Structure 1
């Protein structure tokens, strides 16, 4: 599916402890816990609310990088990449013998350790006894990024010293230095990139956990700090900055001290790498002390400047940690009203919840920002791929349509740069880039991946998503104002991009890159042609809905668009028969993708079976380190064939190696641990919403395209709180008396 895996890759993970007792006891599928056994293999997660984030770390107090939605660095000769916002989550503690965050991670130092990601509450809790230099302190840390108040986050450190004496605490905002070395990725070839990385003492090989792969390429951009300040009386910090040649960024923090704390001194520290309030205080043995850091963050076009953020942080402190946390939890509990519930497999249930958690953590409402391929991280440079339209969008559409909508709105907002790109390539309409900048929509595909300018199926994927949103919502006004302009321009593109073959009286599409990207510059890629055909037919229907006149060529081309087929074998071909199908690729073949829910190319049951069997054969013969999305397609394909047992086996395969401990962070392949890939979570969710259910969104509604399927050991699968055309349903799949899976809908 992605040139980015072939060329290079990404970075990420999360935690929480203090879940309501009833939840912790009653539903462990929402809880993931790390132990000290994982100190050497800790794969970081993150906490986020769709607008900004922070990575997790074992102590719960370390400075980690965070990112803000569509906040990009545009350094000269580089590609646009996410700028790491100043690190806001750090608190450090020194009981007298050494600083907590600088002390070696060891089981004998961090005893009785547990770090928990509570996905129901979206909080990270860490608990341990810090034993060092003949002193011990019980430590508890709780961190969250507010789902209720999107500009706010908070971290609370609670210490219980086992001694009387003086301690130090610091509450910094970490001002990151620029990542080095930076490469001119905007113009370097693949060979030049590899040579430069090697010369810098790095490599692009798969690395053992927890070291991220490809960090030499998917490094963060920088925020240039323009002004900083703080006040030791009001215990506040603030800063204004700007992403390199990008948008303005602001942050502020307000510190809350325990009542009755014996404070000895408070100092403001301002250095090139840190803005901090530093505290000395006396503590008593066995007494609990809670220190809270309230943080506000904003960017140009979303919020105000540093002083506005100071006001937000102080207001949060005035309201109190418990009140802020309660509203955050309530907002998440509301999100979980739409859920996927499995009776019969606890591991799969937990994986589904972690995937939904990551999707919800990275989505917004009421915006036109897409989600980057690797969420709020620097992975794949934060660009919007077809992942947004074909993987993330359908996964959210039925459960959380308001969180799917920004993806289709982004494509409408960025029509102009897509039109300009079409002109550059000598075609009409819109030619959306393979890698779109999430702020501007402009093309920032790395030069080393230049071949993907031919992976033009992205244009059809975008139109399909627009139509799906309309089908799922029935919003005629939205279609006319937003969806139709995108669909019409995409159809115009395809009409100008096809070639007519008079000898066979058919239309063809030449010089494309297959989704199986090792096959570059091939004629008549089946997936591309089928997607273009569907986009053209969508345009005809959309025109009728909005009262526009469809170009007659759209139907003519769609009816005569060639999709390669082997009559003797009664199966589709990956692309034109003139191209040998003999390369070792991560997919082996792309035929399974003809069945994927968004495209769902019509075919007979026998052809579907033959395509599926060929895919399995090629995966064994020509496959290498298969992508997680291939597991999804095989699960969906098996369900379409009525084989619940095989579908369940492919779902199980999706748990092995792809989920990195301790917080179920999905990586693109088992061997490549570059970082979290949002589309992998979305794909897994689609296995249930569209795969096992047999449901499809089409002109007739939410239809049962084929009989539902259940793995043999499962009792039921429930899609809770499904939204469709203004109504809500619980959809349940369970076995009847005859042992066959049946689907029922209950209106809410």
Structure 2
């Protein structure tokens, strides 16, 4: 008796399930998409700090990709990440002759064509797996796609398409490199003024508003730059592609592909397709009903200063093909599992656990260990043009410091590597020391702020203090005097010299002030004595004196003099801090409308009495509640941390919960955006804040000369049973730190020594 169609379909489904990779059993690491997410699909990210791409609903589309600090330097523009040739596309057709034949990537994404759809971003394994049935007329194919960007072999990535056709016949496959056309229009952001910007946008038919579901409002300005292909070839017999390229006015890069075919497949034709927009290996092959066929695309990448040329990349891709997809996947998973030994584990709140894992995943995916590369505010994407802000030093760095110190070290080493550029900026401004950029180019450290916002580069100078504070925090956590002497101290010294020359002595008031500053509240563009700036500058000056003693250098006594007499705006009447000089009218409804909670941020942590903490928090709460602006996701963690420092469990928990449930978390893969409405995604700044909220806010721990000290009582959201920071690194030792409740219900913190580095 012959098997009926239902039995064949059942056997095909069983084969698909049995061949599927095993997901981590901990659902706190699994983010899933169903067909219900198609209309609101905000792509996730696959990256290893060197190479980045985004997810796509089918798992087979071509998606934009970038390389670390690989920048386009178009004349009259700001620098921006150059889009390298896209490597993810594998297209599939169920045959060349039957009626209704289509290519999978061109078919409408709907239930009729893609039933039984499920896509999973496994954060623990850093893999994207997509499964569905592809219905192309009378021909149906079971599809499974698995994609990864290797953590174990950073120059490699791969995607595997497994098909199980429910028919006999010939199929077609296309393995492509997408050679993106140069972006148009290119706006001259390096010279266009703020008054001209609206006119330029209108002239090109552009708007500054988000396009659902995932395009940010500033996509009209923050598009990816161009990579020019210098040479591209393919070998149909060897199943390979390779190309060399160069970013516009920038560095060289290379890329190579090898394709692995399933054993026993009958290939009827193989050819190379080349056009100005696409380099592809096209295949035709015969398949049999109910049989599974796995096609694997291995891709290798390099850029000037990191790897070789296309020939070298081709050798890497060939070696990966020879070793097989399973080998690459196993090594990649092992590398990510080692990273996850350092984790934040929450008992009692599954939703918070998934969001925290997503935030940590995106931080890890966009940073590198043991380098001198920083990360942009939106990671390796076009957001904020890939530039490095204070976000890297004050938001991302502290979140990684105790859990992943090698990645944190890369962020502070970036500032040491680009110190000469900062020294040149200070000299040009007639100042001593170093003036770090507001928007630093991630490759060369030059200022890259759009001309329309040039005032930020001139005046939002708190970034200098943020840089120095991060250098000192790394020393406090590592205890590495050799590193401090070679890398941290020159930065700290130059920052102190900058502040000593930038501050103005006001004889009538017998104090130092800092004038003509852009506040952290950027709507206030030219104010005296921004409180966050002055408090940060004072800490940077004190740090310089302390660092000099550690490395055996001579501290400039003027540093201590300026620090001791630097004015911090404060209302004696209300017993609270002001945002800036009381002579400035506080009358603009900017996001959050106050930076006062940031004074309690862990790395700054301005000393103050309990009454001042309470008054600062109450003042900030009133301003935020009356604001008509959408709350920036940067503002959530400072409020929770400020509440935690005063022992206000309910407020700290409530602000943290807003960070979990707010509309800034985009489905299906937990991408965090800057605001709920502007769609500026992969916002690592707020992801770092979220992690700091737990690592320092809820624990009450701070880095001081004595180590990791209990500066404030630990606290626990009332619905949580406990949380644990696993494998915390501190001065060569490792700990698990748990916050829970004792038998009497009191919140307590315990530390348990564990084995060394993973």
TM-score (norm 1): 0.96
Closer/same/farther in 2, CA of residues 99 and 23 from structure 1, 3 Å limit: closer
Question: What does residue 739 of structure 1 align with?
Answer: 745
Question: What does residue 532 of structure 1 align with?
Answer: 537
Indicate conservation of the 8 Å contact 2:362/2:682, yes or no: no
Gaps of 5+ in 1: 1-16
Question: What does residue 141 of structure 1 align with?
Answer: 145
Question: What does residue 511 of structure 2 align with?
Answer: 506
Indicate conservation of the 8 Å contact 2:424/2:434, yes or no: yes
Matched, 1:657 2:657: no
Question: Which segment is superposed worse, 357-366 or 137-146?
Answer: 357-366
Give matches, 1:431-580, under 5 Å: 431-452=435-456, 453-580=458-585
> In structure 2, what is the Cα distance between the partners aligned to 1:133 and 1:76?
50
Question: What does residue 12 of structure 2 align with?
Answer: none
Indicate conservation of the 8 Å contact 2:120/2:130, yes or no: yes
State the Cα distance separating 1:194 from its structure 2 match: 2.0
Corresponding residue to 1:235 among 234, 239, 256: 239
Query: Could you say what the CA RMSD is over the residues aligned between the two structures, in angstroms?
Result: 1.4
Question: What does residue 621 of structure 1 align with?
Answer: 626
State the Cα distance separating 1:26 from its structure 2 match: 3.5
Indicate conservation of the 8 Å contact 1:716/1:735, yes or no: yes
Corresponding residue to 1:711 among 705, 711, 717: 717
SS at match of 1:285: coil
Indicate conservation of the 8 Å contact 1:645/1:710, yes or no: no
Corresponding residue to 1:646 among 645, 651, 654: 651
Indicate conservation of the 8 Å contact 1:231/1:237, yes or no: yes
Indicate conservation of the 8 Å contact 2:24/2:125, yes or no: no
State the Cα distance separating 1:527 from its structure 2 match: 0.4
Indicate conservation of the 8 Å contact 1:666/1:676, yes or no: yes
SS at match of 2:69: strand
> In structure 2, what is the Cα distance between the partners aligned to 1:425 and 1:268?
55
Question: What does residue 705 of structure 2 align with?
Answer: 699
Closer/same/farther in 2, CA of residues 524 and 745 from structure 1, 3 Å limit: same
> In structure 2, what is the Cα distance between the partners aligned to 1:678 and 1:714?
25
Closer/same/farther in 2, CA of residues 414 and 693 from structure 1, 3 Å limit: same
Question: What does residue 684 of structure 1 align with?
Answer: 690
Indicate conservation of the 8 Å contact 1:390/1:465, yes or no: yes
Question: What does residue 380 of structure 2 align with?
Answer: 376
Question: What does residue 27 of structure 1 align with?
Answer: 26
Question: Which segment is superposed worse, 343-352 or 635-644?
Answer: 635-644
> In structure 1, what is the Cα distance between the partners aligned to 2:319 and 2:736?
39
SS at match of 1:159: strand
* Higher RCO structure, 1 or 2 (CA under 8 Å, sep 6+): 1
State the Cα distance separating 1:206 from its structure 2 match: 3.8
Question: What does residue 277 of structure 1 align with?
Answer: 281
SS at match of 1:697: strand
Question: What does residue 58 of structure 2 align with?
Answer: 59
User: 1:195-242: per-residue Cα shift (whole Å, max 9, x none)?
Assistant: 212221221024432333211100010111000111111111100000
Indicate conservation of the 8 Å contact 1:194/1:204, yes or no: no
> In structure 1, what is the Cα distance between the partners aligned to 2:647 and 2:108?
53
> In structure 2, what is the Cα distance between the partners aligned to 1:49 and 1:527?
34
Question: What does residue 40 of structure 2 align with?
Answer: 41
Matched, 1:319 2:349: no
SS at match of 1:26: coil
Aligned residues: 732
Matched, 1:636 2:641: yes
SS at match of 1:549: coil
> In structure 2, what is the Cα distance between the partners aligned to 1:617 and 1:193?
34
Matched, 1:396 2:391: no
Matched, 1:344 2:348: yes
SS at match of 1:190: coil
State the Cα distance separating 1:738 from its structure 2 match: 2.5
User: 1:460-513: per-residue Cα shift (whole Å, max 9, x none)?
Assistant: 000000000000000010000110000000000000000001111110000001
Give matches, 1:70-85, under 5 Å: 70-85=69-84
Structure 1 segments, 4+ long, off by >3 Å, are 17-26
Question: Which segment is superposed worse, 554-563 or 649-658?
Answer: 649-658
Indicate conservation of the 8 Å contact 1:588/1:620, yes or no: no
Question: What does residue 13 of structure 1 align with?
Answer: none
Matched, 1:190 2:194: yes
Matched, 1:199 2:203: yes
Question: Which segment is superposed worse, 282-291 or 737-746?
Answer: 737-746
